[in-house]
Amino acid sequence: MLYKSKYNSPIGEISLISNKTNLIGAWFKNQKYYLENIKETIIEEEDIEILEKTKKWLDKYFNKEKPEISELSLSPNGNEFRKEVWKILSKIPYGQIITYGEISKEICKRMNKERMSSQAIGNAVGHNPISIIIPCHRVLGKNKEITGYAGGIDKKKYLLNLENIELTE
């Protein structure tokens, strides 16, 4: 059994999904890959501690208070490769960015490979099930180019601007 609550952010409704102990998903309404890999029954439940903590975390984030990812217990569902990419995303500090190429280099080191397809990296970043908190919006193309975002480019631009990240159009 999974539990769901809604959070009304300045850029739209976010569905928060928990297994009661951990946050396993945070998706914008109509986001690509919404509820991907979720097979369990989901019920609406407001009185789940991790969901309430997540809402407070998001309140802080949207008020530019720079909450730490470590404040929440996260358990994103994905294969080992994706989880490794999401670990890298989780280390990107507030207000900073990383490129797909930099993620690729780091994954190659971790997996002892010479090369990694940028398409594989982009796919893993795009399938991040915990938007904002695992900050995939901080991933840009080379030369700070804004590239895809499963929640929508407009939301990505808003989040980057919120964090005072200078953008290249």
Could you list the active site residues? 136
Look up tokens 């990694």; give the residue.
116
Residue 66 Rama label (left phi>0; alpha psi -120 to 50; beta): left
Phi and psi torsions of 30, nearest 5°: 65, 15
**Backbone CA torsion sign across 127, 18, 9, 95:** negative
d(CA 109, CA 104): 9
